[in-house]
Amino acid sequence: MRTLSVSRTAFASHLRPSFSLNASSESEDNDNEIDRLQSMAAKLRAEAASLEAEQAQAMADAAERAFRKFDTNQDGQITVEELKVGLEKAFKRELTEKRVAKLMEDFDKTGDGVLKIDEFVNVEKFGNRLDALVREEKSVARKATEEAKQEAEAVMLMEAQMEMINDKAPTGTDKILSLLPYLLPLLDGLEFARFLVTENPDNVLSAFIGITYSLYRMIPFGGLIGYFALNFLSGNVSINRLVRFNMQQAIYLDIALFFPGLLAALYGLIGQAAGFSLPPGVTEIGSDAMFATLLATIGYASISSLLGQAPNKIPFISEAVEARMPTVDMFDKEGRFNPRRNKKDDEDKE
C-alpha cells in the first residue's frame, strides 16, 4: 500500500508541470491572435480612411471642375444667372428663376448672393435639391387646389343656404302680407278699448271696435288658433324674412298683452281681500294707455314694414325676435337646417 501511495504522488508531481506549460502556451497563442486581429482592423480602417479621402478628393475635384464651368467670367464666384445657365446645360431642361434663386439661397452659406468655391457642391446635389423643390412646389400646389376647392364648395353651400332662407329684399306683396300678423295682438288688445266704446256708443269707430271684438270672441279658441298658425308659418324659411319677423313679433306682442290683465286681476283679488279697490278712473286710464301704446306700436311696425324695413326697435320684444330668426349659421356642415343650432355651438364643440 505504501509503495502504491508513493507511486501516485510521484505521478501527480510529474503531470503538474506539463499542465502549466500547456496553459501558458494557449494564453500566448490567444494574445497573438488578438494582436493579429487588431492589426488587421487597423489596416482596414486605414484603407477605408484612404478610400474616403480619395473619394472626397475626387468629389472636390469634380466640384471644382464644375465650378470652373459654371463660373463663365472666371471671377471666382457664381451668380444666380450663371447658376441658371450651368444647371440648364447640365440637366438639359429649362429652370425657373424662382427655383434657381431658391437653390442659391440654400447653398449660399455667407448670404452674399453668390456661390464661392467652398460653397459649391457637385451637380448631383444640386439635382437632388432641385427635385426636392419640385416635390415641395407640387405639394403646395395640391394643397392650394384643395383649399380653393373647399372654399368654392363652401361658397356654393352658402349660396344654397341663402336660397333656402329667404332673406331677400321684400317685394310689394311681402310688405302687405307682413302687416297681417299684427291683427292678432290688435284683436286681443281691443279689450283695453272697452271704456272708449262704452263712453262713446254712438261713435262709428267705437261701434266698429265693439262689433269686431264681439265677432272675434265668437270664434272658438280664435286667439289660440292664431297663435299656433303664426308660430308654425314663421318657421317656414322660404317666406320672406320681413313677414317671418313680423309673425314672431306679433306673437310676442300678443303675449305681452297678457301680463297687464294678469296684474290687474291679481291686484283686484288682493284689494278685495284687503277691503279696498282701485278707483274706476285709474282702471280706465290704465286701459286707455295700454290701448294707445298698442296702437302706436302696431302703427310703427306697419309703417316700417311698408317701407321694407324690419320694425326691430321695439324694446325687449324686437331683441327677443331677432334672437329667434333663422340664419345661415343654423345650417350644419352637410347643409342640413337646424333652428336650434348656431355658429357659437360649433366653436364650443371644437
Contact between residue 303 and residue 320 where contact means Cβ atoms under 8 Å apart: no
Contact between residue 224 and residue 155 where contact means Cβ atoms under 8 Å apart: no
Structural domain spans, the chain: 55-165, 168-325
Q: Kindly state the cell numbers that stand for 63.
A: 466640384
Q: Kindly state the cell numbers that stand for 337.
A: 337646417
Each residue's pLDDT, cut to its tens digit, for the chain (350 residues) gives: 444 444 444 544 444 555 455 556 666 767 777 877 888 888 888 888 888 877 777 777 777 777 888 888 888 888 888 888 888 888 888 888 888 888 888 888 888 888 888 887 777 888 888 888 888 888 888 898 888 888 887 776 666 666 678 888 999 999 999 999 999 999 999 988 888 777 777 777 777 888 888 888 898 988 899 999 999 999 888 899 999 999 999 999 999 998 887 776 676 677 667 776 667 677 788 888 999 999 999 999 999 999 999 999 999 999 999 988 877 666 665 556 565 555 444 445 44
Distance CA 240, CA 262 (A): 34
Contact between residue 246 and residue 179 where contact means Cβ atoms under 8 Å apart: yes
> What residues contact residue 242 under an 8 Å CB cut-off, 6+ apart?
170, 174, 175, 178, 305, 308, 310
Looking at the whole model, is its pTM more than 0.85? no
DSSP letter, residue 170? P
- The second-level CATH assignment, the architecture, of 55-165 is Orthogonal Bundle (1.10)
